[in-house]
Amino acid sequence: MTKNNSLEEESEPEDETDLSDFEANSSSVHPLHLYDEDEFVDISSLSEARVVKGGDQRSMEPNDWVTVMKKIDFYRSKLTKARCLHDDMPFPARYIIFSLIILVNMAQHHDCWVRTSTLRLSLPKETEFTLPDLSVEERDFFDRLVMSEDVKDVEAKTRNEQHAKKLVESILDAVTSPDKDDASEVEHMFRNIVPLIDATMRSMRIKDSGEQTLNASAVRRNKGRDSADRARMGYRVDIQVEFRDLHWQPTVGCGEISGGLPRCSLAKEWTDTLKLWLEIRDTWAMAQEELEGIDASNLVIWGFTVVGRKLRIYSLAAAGGLFHLVLVYEATIPSSLSDFCNIEIAYRTMLGFVEKLKMTSKMLVDLNRKLAIVRRNDNGSKDTRAVR
């Protein structure tokens, strides 16, 4: 690889596939330490990198992925065994370290050895997220709702307008409550998040809001265990969206509410983000098993987190032998009458999230149809799995 398109800093070895010199000179380096010996990252100020479209950047090439994997394995080897996750997933848990390296570098305003724009171009195009537009009539209706002295005086003519009106009434009641900034996680979810879900996700199948067990995680945790042993439960998910038009009823989206109000700690925020990643990773892996025999590598699973008044949309895809959790959009939930106009953006954000869930559901249907064709053509001679 030429110097112009190298992903590494000039201080690192020119041969990107041989890290022996780099490892020899870095035996005492902290796993997340990428630069000078005195320059350690302060993870207490960690913030997530926003990944935008890549412009004129190129996508990752096979040699680039080899370099990335070697670097990740090197940093991971510096962790103690107690802090190093073991996983038998198709792609290993070392992505967590990859994620930390990228986010820490972005938080510290350094150039990362993997350009996020280059990385983004290597992911399936389905990971892109755009805020859906409202029609002129819908915008006008929202303006009347926000500007009116009494929301009940605004007439709702269509079903969508009725849902939007109910949303505005609920959020208005939440932001004018005396204890609006002092709420537990459950109170925050039902006051500020459930109204958004009710207004936008009525066409989706949502498990009862609360700590629902994720089947995909339970399957992964119990794989290879003695059936006589006590079974392990899956992760408990705050919001779980299912697609029930396939026999295995896959989960197509997950949501995590990170604490209540005031905003949770950075540790809680980071832990819940990693938990969301594990949840939708297990969902992606379960889909691969159900669709074994066809290429489902471009499948994208979606999730969201709520941290204080921030609503964040994430997509998960696989590329280069790694899982990639991408923060694709962030919106603000209203906190008072002064910023109540944010309700329209939050509403559109959830509409966009629903569009992506429907896209994933359609992709699963198409992949399942291809699998049925494959099984029909081979007459069951090669497929020894029981057809459920």
Joined tokens for residue 51: 């990944």
- Among left, alpha and beta (phi > 0; psi -120 to 50; other), residue 84 is beta
Q: Which amino acid is at 269?
A: E
Q: Cα torsion for 68, 28, 96, 119, to the nearest 10°? A: -30
The string over 324-335, giving b where at least 16 C-beta atoms fall within 10 Å of a residue's C-beta and e elsewhere, is bbbbbbebebbb
Joined tokens for residue 42: 């302060």
User: Over 50: is that where the pLDDT of 213 sits?
Assistant: yes
Q: How far is CA 153 from CA 143, 148, 149, 271, 286, in A?
A: 13, 8, 8, 44, 49
Q: How far is CA 62 from CA 6, 7, 265, 319, in A?
A: 13, 13, 39, 11
209 band by pLDDT with thresholds 50, 70 and 90: low
- Give CA angle at 176 (172, 179), nearest 5°: 130
What pLDDT sits at residue 211? 62
Across the range 206-221, mean pLDDT stands at 74
Joined tokens for residue 50: 């926003």
Rounded CA separation 50/97 (Å): 18
User: How many other C-beta atoms are found inside a 10 Å radius of the C-beta of residue 388?
Assistant: 6
DSSP state letters, 309-352? TEEEEEEEEEETTEEEEEEEEEEE---SSTTTTHHHHHHHHHHH
325 band by pLDDT with thresholds 50, 70 and 90: confident
Rounded CA separation 289/245 (Å): 18
pLDDT in tens, 110-151: 444 455 667 777 888 899 999 999 999 999 999 999 999 999
pTM of the predicted protein model? 0.75
User: Over 50: is that where the pLDDT of 166 sits?
Assistant: yes
pLDDT in tens, 230-272: 677 777 889 999 999 999 899 999 999 999 999 999 889 988 9
pLDDT in tens, 12-67: 333 333 434 434 444 443 333 333 344 444 545 545 544 444 444 677 777 777 87
